Structures are given as structure tokens and as C-alpha cells.
């Protein structure tokens, strides 16, 4: 027996109903903001991801040579592919470009709660605007996407990579990217482990205390940003803090500030982020951390050979979101059974199929008996699969121009006109 590949899953019908429910709610919000759906190839040249996806992601690539000897990889994220698409064909298109996707990604990492080697993301990319209004729109959309699924208990934490860069300069750290990676992993390390990692950057106790102070600067913007103004003194940092004040004002105008927090210790995992970054956290007992995130990446398109172009976006982790929604009881229980089951009795299969076809054309979910069961066993089957109504099609009934309908819950039966079968069945299903 050949088993499925580690880190992948088989989705059964009940799983797919739940996933589609989540996808469609998120999709509706994306489209209300006038983002348009795209889909890029699942494979790209490996060079695309090596250029700017970050050290850890490159290590996790499903990379191989194709039959032509070309180095290709399954996509580990969508942003790089979207940037490549933009550079290929859309540099002269009217701005901003607003795209969204719902697609599967691949990373070779150790499977754990909410993490798989094949996983799905729903995300957006807004390309062409450097304005803080673009960041606000994307973050508002991020919040509303979660709200559309019924989730209310979550926060979106906002940080800033420029402030972290300025902080690294204040400490005299040359490897600012390395420092950001350690700061980004702060919640996965004990305090002792975190301090030991900081010592590797040559930081003395006083500077380590400054880092520990930085990661504690989090909470409501009205409380946090004044503290940031005290900590950062460079002109670049002051300019960035002013931008954060503007962002918070705009998010208040969007009506989503209830879910917003500032956390200056957020770096995010990708090296290509250049300014505002953010991630969503929903408290849970499942061992699931961030359920999505994003930020501004103003340099990435230029790295791929395009003209300098600002951009921002996010990705929602579907494999992390769905377990939390299920844990909270927010996803409706799927109903997979048909509304109607048509059973021919006495060799009237063709007539039964015609009735089933008519019902389906009327929008009624219909199953027709395909196994040649006798009536008693067919009714047992109907009970097992949870059918509402069974239509029994017999020769004598057909001669009278009727069929017999059985309510599987009450056991009651009645004859209905063959000419009005779709209309009558719709009425019975509504009652």
C-alpha cells in the first residue's frame, strides 16, 4: 500500500465543504475591496526564490531539476511569483494593481500543529502605491477577512522594519537581518535562550536590556507610540513613527482599530519587508501561533529586474485559521446528503433518470439509485445517507401520471403530479 507523502493531507468531502465555506467568505471580502483574482504556476525557476525569499525559506524549497536540466522549485510563497508576473507584463499598467489569490504552497519543514509541507494561503498584493493609505487599506482588508469567518477574538499586531533597522544601528550591530530573525523568534524562546542568542551579536548587558525593553513595547497605539518616540532619536525613526500615527488614524476611519495593536518586536520571516509589517494572532489551545501576516516590500520588484515599485500585501494561513474556527465552533456543520433520492421500481430506470434530471435542472440536489437495489434496501440506504425525500417511481404510478414521495423523517407518503414534480418537491423541501 502506498501512503500519502508526509506533510500532505487528503481532504474528504466534509473537509472540502468547510474549506470552501472559509474560502468563499474571504473571497467575498477581497472582491468588495476590488481586488481581482490571479493564479501563477505552481513551479517557478529556483533563482526567483533564491534572490530574495530569505535564508530559511530557500533551505525549505522543494527544488529539483526538470527533464531539461533546469532548476525549478514548487512555490513556497506567492509574493515572489506575483512580483515576477508584474515585472514580466504589468510595469506600465495603471496603478495601483490590486490582486488576490487562494492557492497552495510547498515548504519542506517539520509538520506540526497548523503546519504542513503543502498548505494553502489566501492573500493580496497591492502594487504601485507608497502612500500610507495603501498600508491602511491592506490591513483593514486583513482584519475584515478574519471577521468574515465569524472570528472576533484576535489581534493584528503592527511593527516596523525601519525602526528595527534603526535600533540595530543604535546598538552597533552590523548583522541587522540576523538580529531581526532572533527578535522575530522571541516568542519561541525562553528568556534565557533569547539572551544567549543576543550575546552572539556581541551585545553587552546594557544593550541586551535595551533589546528586552524594545520587545516589551507593545499594546494600544496611544500607549506604545509615545514610548517609541522616547526610545528612538534618529530623524529616520521619527519619520517612521509619524507614519505609524497616520496609519492608526486611518485604521480608525476604517472601523477596525479595535483589533489593532502595536508590537515593535515584530520582524516577520522574510527579508524583503522594508517598512510596516503585521501579523494576526488568535488565542487558542491548539498550539497555533500566527494565523497570517504581511507588510510592505518596496524593493522586491527591483530585485527581480523591474523598475523601483512600492508594494504591500499579506497572506492568511488557511491551515492555521480553519482549526481555530472549528475549535470555536464557527464553521457550520456540512450537510453532504442529497435533498432527494429517486428510486425506480419495476424497470422504469429511464423514467427515473428523466425525473432526476428535471430536479437537478431546477437546482435540487438529487441522487438517483445506481446500484439496482430493491425498494426496501433503497429506503435503508436513503436513511443512512440522510435524504429528506425519496421519490418512488413505479410503472402503475407513471400510468396515472404521478410518483410517490416519501418523507424519510416522518415516514409519510403522498402522490404528486408528474407534470409538477419539481415545483411540488421545492414546496415540500421548504416546509
At 250-268, the pLDDT tens digits run 999 999 999 999 998 887 7
- Sequence-separated (6 or more) residues with CB below 8 Å from residue 273: 161, 267, 295, 296, 297
| 79 and 6 co-located in one domain | yes
| 107 and 81 co-located in one domain | yes
Provide the domain limits for residue 102: 1-154+282-336
Structural domain count, the chain = 3
Of the pLDDT bands very low, low, confident and very high (cuts 50, 70, 90), residue 180 is confident
DSSP-H helix ranges across 55-204 = 55-59, 79-89, 132-148, 161-171, 176-184, 191-199
HSE-CB for 386 with a 13 A CA cutoff: 6
259-286: average pLDDT = 88
In the chain, the N- to C-terminal Cα span, in Å, equals 48
Of the pLDDT bands very low, low, confident and very high (cuts 50, 70, 90), residue 269 is low
Q: Is the peptide bond before 130 cis (omega within 30 degrees of 0)?
A: no
Give a yes or no: residue 224 inside a domain: yes
- Say which residue the cell 522594519 belongs to: 161
Q: Which of 47-56, 154-163, 211-220 has the largest mean confidence? A: 154-163
| 149 and 298 co-located in one domain | yes
| 16 and 124 co-located in one domain | yes
Give a yes or no: residue 260 inside a domain: no
Segment 5-40, tens digit of pLDDT: 999 999 999 999 999 999 999 999 999 999 999 999
| 121 and 216 co-located in one domain | no
DSSP-H helix ranges across 255-401 = 300-303, 318-327, 349-361, 375-385, 395-400
Segment 286-302, tens digit of pLDDT: 989 999 999 999 999 99
Rounded distance, CA 81 to CA 367, Å?
Answer: 42
| 108 and 167 co-located in one domain | no
Give a yes or no: residue 217 inside a domain: yes
Give a yes or no: residue 378 inside a domain: yes
CB 61 within 8 A of CB 73: yes
| 23 and 105 co-located in one domain | yes
Give a yes or no: residue 421 inside a domain: yes
Give a yes or no: residue 266 inside a domain: no
Rounded distance, CA 76 to CA 320, Å?
Answer: 16
308-320: average pLDDT = 97
Q: Strands (DSSP E) along 169-319, which ranges?
A: 218-219, 260-263, 276-281, 290-296, 311-317
| 29 and 116 co-located in one domain | yes
Quote the pTM value.
0.90
Of the pLDDT bands very low, low, confident and very high (cuts 50, 70, 90), residue 175 is low
Domain boundary among 272, 302, 336: 336
The residue among 109 and 383 whose pLDDT is bigger is: 383
| 149 and 288 co-located in one domain | yes
pLDDT at site 53: 64
Q: 155-160 and 260-263: which strand pairing? A: parallel
The residue among 56 and 326 whose pLDDT is bigger is: 326
Q: What percent of the chain has pLDDT over 90?
A: 76
Residue 187 has pLDDT above 90, yes or no: no
CA distance readout (Å), 156 to 174, 263, 379: 30, 9, 52
pLDDT at site 86: 98
pLDDT at site 217: 82
pLDDT at site 202: 76
Count the Cβ atoms, other than its own, within 10 Å of residue 196. Answer: 11
pLDDT at site 172: 79
DSSP state at residue 187: G
pLDDT at site 55: 63
CB 139 within 8 A of CB 255: no
Burial 201-223 (b: 16+ CB within 10 A, else e): bebeeebbeebeebeebbeebee
CB 286 within 8 A of CB 308: no
Residue 135 has pLDDT above 90, yes or no: yes
Q: How high is the mean pLDDT of the chain?
A: 92
The residue among 215 and 360 whose pLDDT is bigger is: 360
Of the pLDDT bands very low, low, confident and very high (cuts 50, 70, 90), residue 247 is very high
Give a yes or no: residue 268 inside a domain: no
DSSP state at residue 258: G
Domain boundary among 232, 251, 270: 251
335-346: average pLDDT = 96
pLDDT at site 74: 96
49-73: average pLDDT = 86
Helix (H) or strand (E) holding 368: strand 366-368
| 181 and 78 co-located in one domain | no
| 97 and 180 co-located in one domain | no
- Sequence-separated (6 or more) residues with CB below 8 Å from residue 213: 231
pLDDT at site 54: 58
CATH number of the domain at 298, please. Answer: 3.30.930.10
Give a yes or no: residue 356 inside a domain: yes
Of the pLDDT bands very low, low, confident and very high (cuts 50, 70, 90), residue 176 is low
| 88 and 1 co-located in one domain | yes
Residue 270 has pLDDT above 60, yes or no: no
Residue 271 has pLDDT above 90, yes or no: no
CATH number of the domain at 405, please. Answer: 3.40.50.800
Amino acid at each position: 500500500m502506498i501512503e500519502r507523502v508526509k506533510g500532505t493531507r487528503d481532504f474528504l468531502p466534509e473537509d472540502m465543504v468547510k474549506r470552501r465555506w472559509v474560502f468563499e467568505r474571504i473571497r467575498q471580502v477581497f472582491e468588495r475591496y476590488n481586488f481581482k483574482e490571479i493564479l501563477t504556476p505552481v513551479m517557478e525557476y529556483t533563482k526567483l526564490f533564491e534572490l530574495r525569499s530569505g535564508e530559511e525559506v530557500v533551505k525549505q524549497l522543494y527544488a529539483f531539476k526538470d527533464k531539461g536540466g533546469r532548476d525549478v522549485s514548487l512555490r513556497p510563497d506567492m509574493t515572489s511569483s506575483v512580483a515576477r508576473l508584474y515585472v514580466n507584463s504589468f510595469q506600465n499598467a495603471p496603478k495601483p494593481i490590486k490582486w488576490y489569490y487562494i492557492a497552495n504552497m510547498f515548504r519542506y519543514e517539520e509538520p506540526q500543529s497548523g503546519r504542513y509541507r503543502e498548505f494553502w494561503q489566501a492573500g493580496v498584493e497591492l502594487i504601485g502605491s507608497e502612500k500610507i493609505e495603501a498600508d491602511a487599506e491592506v490591513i483593514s482588508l486583513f482584519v475584515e477577512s478574519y471577521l468574515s469567518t465569524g472570528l472576533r477574538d484576535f489581534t493584528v499586531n503592527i511593527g516596523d522594519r525601519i525602526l528595527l533597522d534603526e535600533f540595530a544601528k543604535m546598538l552597533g550591530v552590523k548583522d541587522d537581518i540576523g538580529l531581526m530573525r532572533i527578535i522575530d523568534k522571541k516568542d519561541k524562546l525562553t528568556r534565557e535562550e533569547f539572551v544567549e542568542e543576543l550575546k552572539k551579536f556581541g551585545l553587552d548587558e546594557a544593550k541586551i536590556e535595551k533589546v528586552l525593553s524594545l520587545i516589551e513595547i507593545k499594546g494600544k497605539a496611544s500607549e506604545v507610540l509615545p514610548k517609541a518616540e522616547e526610545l528612538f532619536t534618529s530623524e529616520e525613526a521619527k519619520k517612521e513613527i509619524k507614519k505609524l500615527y497616520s496609519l492608526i488614524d486611518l485604521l480608525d476611519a476604517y472601523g477596525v482599530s479595535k483589533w489593532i495593536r502595536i508590537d515593535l518586536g515584530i520582524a516577520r520571516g522574510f527579508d524583503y519587508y522594508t517598512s510596516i509589517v503585521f501579523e494576526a494572532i488568535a488565542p487558542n489551545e491548539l498550539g497555533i501561533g500566527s494565523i497570517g501576516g504581511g507588510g510592505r516590500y518596496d524593493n522586491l520588484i527591483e530585485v527581480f529586474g523591474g523598475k523601483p515599485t512600492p508594494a504591500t500585501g499579506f497572506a492568511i494561513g488557511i491551515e492555521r485559521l480553519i482549526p481555530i474556527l472549528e475549535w470555536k465552533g464557527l464553521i457550520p456543520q456540512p450537510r453532504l446528503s442529497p435533498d432527494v433520492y429517486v428510486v425506480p421500481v419495476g424497470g422504469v430506470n429511464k423514467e427515473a433518470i428523466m425525473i432526476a434530471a428535471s430536479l437537478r435542472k431546477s437546482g435540487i440536489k438529487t441522487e438517483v439509485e445506481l446500484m439496482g437495489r430493491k425498494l426496501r434496501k433503497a429506503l435503508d440506504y436513503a436513511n443512512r445517507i440522510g435524504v429528506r425525500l425519496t421519490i418512488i417511481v413505479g410503472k402503475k404510478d407513471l400510468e396515472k401520471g404521478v410518483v410517490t414521495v416519501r418523507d424519510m423523517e416522518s415516514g409519510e407518503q403522498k402522490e404528486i403530479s408528474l407534470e409538477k414534480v419539481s415545483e411540488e418537491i421545492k414546496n415540500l423541501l421548504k416546509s
